[in-house]
A and B are shown apart, each in its own frame.
Chain A
Amino acid sequence: MKKKILIIDDDRDYIQSLKMTLEPAGYEILTAHNATQGFGEIVSKKPDLIILDVMMETETAGFVLAKRLRSAGADAVYREIPILMLTAVGWLRKIFEEESGSEVHVDAFMEKPVPPKELLRTVRELLEASSA
């Protein structure tokens, strides 16, 4: 069965570029354009991997969603889905962590743009680690 990857990003061009790399590699791609919609997709479709942007409806929407998925109150099903965070503004993470006083727990954190080969390798590694 094809692995499902959910891409949550408000930049449709960026989603397109990720799709162009991931689809030929045999992944099924689901998309969402903001964190709220993304959370709905996670609940209804239960993806195997989440690729998450940071700046969406708010500057830190991605961090907030990641925090919500990793919080102790979250369903174990969601807590185990690996998250690959992609952002053009890496330094926002430090500011968010300082201001919210908590760390962002994601499985990989990469700065955009990620070269296709590197993206594929990271996705493969994350999926292998989670199914192991």
Chain B
Amino acid sequence: MVLGASLVFGGVPSSRWLGLAGFFILAYNALFLWASRERSWSRKSCAYLQISLDWIVLTFLAWISDGAASPLIPFFLFHVIIAAILFDRSEAYIQTAVAVALILILGQTGDSSLPWSRWSLTMFGFSVPLNWVLLAFVFFTTAYLVSSIAGILREREKELELANRELEKKADEKNRFFLSTAHSLKTPLSSLESLVQSFLYYSKGQLSAEIQDIMLRVQLRLHNLSILVKDLLVLASSKKSAASKAQPFSLETTFQAAVNKLKPQIEQKNISLVFESDPNASGVMGDEDEWKSVCENIVDNAVKYTPREGSVTVSIQRVGNGLRCSVRDTGIGIPQEELPRVFDEFYRAENARSYAEEGTGLGLSIIKNIVEKAGGQIQVESRVGAGTSVTFYVPSN
């Protein structure tokens, strides 16, 4: 041992050398950890490299410190445990065999051998030192126990994953049912709506005020119903787990179109509309139809809940790697205690229900689904009487 140490260091290793070795171990372990997380190196091959390097360094350190009696020997067991957790059973046994062999070699080459070398067992005509048997027994039993526990845990994890997949499938089925129901509703509804529209158009000026009023009410009711069905359809298709087709498109154009669509209401209520758009607000990737309903829903809410002479501001800004869009209004606002629930399906705030009769309470949940599917975030800030601002961030390509 002294010979080995003097070969390398020219004397007994100083604490400085040991510290350096410790630092080296920490450094490459950190490197592997980083590589397996950030560089998509396979976790398993990282663990292999890590443990193999550890074996070499540990053996070397034990060799220069005290051989088989080194205080570093427990670290061999530590690595056996890690190997048994990370690898399957046979690989864990191979690592255990390596550890036992290394310790035995250390015991043979160093000047201090394994403790308790006085006793030995005679097996198959060979005299085997008892400490060898004990060492192997402890190491292999540890490997066996740990890999059994890890195996059970892995099994459980697999079961959970299966159950999860099953649930996802069920949710998908439900969603498909939902979609086809909404469709079956939409076709006759659009016929009905069209009939009523045409009837009113056709009999312009020929109806008594009373009948005219009834028909207008029928028309309004039908219209609200078809908006509900349309919202349900968008909600169901935005929940589909299969990714919808993503194409580059401009959010600015989509917002502009949403604003144009609401021109009549905006002019009727004399709302001043401000449109601010960052010139470098590039396109984003997504399903344009889905984003159309995001923009329409946000702008529609802002216009609907803003009284006459109010203002609505749409702004699109480039922020880092994405776009931040916000729509601010000077509308009725949302009570503080109801804010956490605005993204719930079918939820409408108390004051919203009394302010505007129509509305499905689906708008914000649709928006949230679509924004989050695109990897974005959305938030709503509001003060009663002062207005509401809906802001979402979406990463651009």
Which residues of A pack against B, CB within 8 Å?
A: 11, 13-14, 16-18, 20-21, 24, 55, 88-91, 94, 98, 112-117
Interface string of B180-211 (1 = CB under 8 A from A): 00010011011111110111011000000000
| Residues 335-362 of B contacting A (Cβ, < 8 Å) | none
Q: How far is the CA of A17 from the CA of B201 in the complex (A)?
A: 10
A18 and B198 within 8 A (CB):
yes
On whether the beta carbons of B245 and A17 are closer than 8 Å, the reply is no
Do A20 and B191 touch (CB < 8 A)?
A: no
> Does chain A have a CB within 8 A of B38?
no
Cα separation A37 to B202 with both chains bound (whole Å): 28
Min C-beta distance of B262 to chain A, whole Å: 16
Partner of B194, one of A55, A89, A91, A114: A114
Contact B187 A55 (CB under 8 A): yes
Whether B289 pairs with A91 at a CB distance below 8 angstroms is yes
Q: Whole-angstrom distance between the alpha carbons of A114 and B226 in the complex?
A: 13
Q: Is B237 an interface residue (CB 8 A)?
A: yes
Residues in B whose Cβ lies below 8 Å from that of A117? 201
Nearest Cβ on chain B to A3's Cβ, whole angstroms: 19
Considering residues B187, B194, B195, which has the most beta carbons from chain A within 10 angstroms of its beta carbon?
B194
A11 with B191, Cβ < 8 A, contacts A88-B186, A91-B237, A91-B289 known: yes
- Are B197 and A98 in contact, CB atoms less than 8 angstroms apart? no
C-alpha spacing A40/B198, complex, angstroms: 28
Beta-carbon contact of A17 and B197 below 8 Å: yes
Known contacts A91-B237, A91-B289; is-contact A116 B191 (Cβ 8 Å): no
B289 touches A113 (CB 8 A): no
**CA distance in complex: A90, B194 (Å):** 16
Closest chain A CB from B111 CB (angstroms): 77
Contact residues of B: prevailing secondary structure: helix
Query: Is B195 in contact with A16, judged by CB distance below 8 angstroms?
Result: yes
CB distance from A99 to the nearest CB of B (A): 12
**Could you say which residues of chain B place their CB within 8 Å of the CB of A90?**
289
Query: Could you name 6 residue pairs across A and B whose Cβ atoms are closer than 8 Å?
Result: A17-B194, A18-B194, A20-B199, A91-B289, A113-B193, A116-B201
* Dominant secondary structure of chain A at its interface with chain B: helix
Would you list the 3 A-B pairs with minimal beta carbon distance, nearest first? A113-B194, A112-B190, A116-B201
Which listed residue, A17, A21, A24, touches B191 by the CB 8 Å rule? A17
What is the CB-to-nearest-CB distance from A38 to chain B, in angstroms, rounded to a whole number? 18
CB contacts (< 8 Å) of B289 on chain A: these are: 90-91, 94
Q: How far is the CA of A89 from the CA of B226 in the complex (A)?
A: 13
Which residue from chain A places its CB closest to the CB of B288 in the assembled complex? A94
A98 to B247, CA, bound (A): 13
Among B195, B197, B289, the most chain A Cβ lie within 10 Å of the Cβ of B197
Q: Which residues of A contact B199 (CB under 8 A)?
A: 17, 20
How far does the alpha carbon of A11 sit from the alpha carbon of B194 in the complex, in Å?
12
For residue A116, which residue of chain B has the nearest CB?
B201
Q: Which residues of B contact A24 (CB under 8 A)?
A: 202
CB distance from A37 to the nearest CB of B (A): 19
Bound CA–CA A103/B201 (angstroms): 35
Q: Known contacts being A94-B245, A98-B245, is A113 close to B202, with CB within 8 Å?
A: no
Pairwise interchain contact A88-B198, C-beta atoms closer than 8 A = no
Q: Name the residue among B198, B202, B245 with the largest chain A CB count within 10 angstroms.
A: B198
Give the CA-CA distance A114 to B191 in the complex, in Å. 10
State in angstroms the CA–CA spacing of A112 and B198 once bound together: 13
| Pairwise interchain contact B187-A88, C-beta atoms closer than 8 A | yes
**Is the beta-carbon distance between A116 and B187 smaller than 8 angstroms?**
no
A89 x B183 contact (CB < 8 A): yes
Cα A94 to Cα B198 in complex, Å, equals 29
Contact, CB under 8 Å: B197 / A116: yes
Whether the pair B245, A115 counts as a contact (CB closer than 8 A) is: no
Q: Tell whether, in the assembled complex, residue A112 and residue B194 are in contact, meaning their CB atoms are under 8 Å apart.
A: yes
In the complex, which residue of chain B has the Cβ closest to the Cβ of A10? B187
Least distance between B101 CB and chain A CB atoms (Å): 61
Cross-chain contact B237 with A113 (CB below 8 angstroms): no
Q: Is the CB of B190 within 8 A of A21?
A: no
B183 touches A20 (CB 8 A): no
Enumerate chain A residues within 8 angstroms of B189, measured Cβ to Cβ: 88
Contacts of B245 in A (CB 8 A): 94, 98
Query: What's the minimum C-beta distance from B199 to chain A, rounded to whole angstroms?
Result: 7
Flag if A116 contacts B237 (CB, 8 Å).
no
Chain B residues whose C-beta falls within 8 Å of the C-beta of A16 in the assembled complex? 195, 198
Interface pair A21/B198, CB less than 8 Å apart: yes
Give A89 to B237 CA distance when docked, in angstroms. 13
CA A94 – CA B189 in complex, angstroms? Answer: 22
Assess the A20–B198 pair: CB atoms within 8 A.
Answer: yes
Q: Is the CB of B202 within 8 A of A11?
A: no
Query: Within the complex, what minimum Cβ distance (angstroms) separates B223 from chain A?
Result: 9
Distance (whole angstroms) from the CB of A87 to the closest CB of chain B: 9
Give Cα A116 to B86, complex, Å: 69
A89–B179 Cα distance when bound, in Å, is: 11
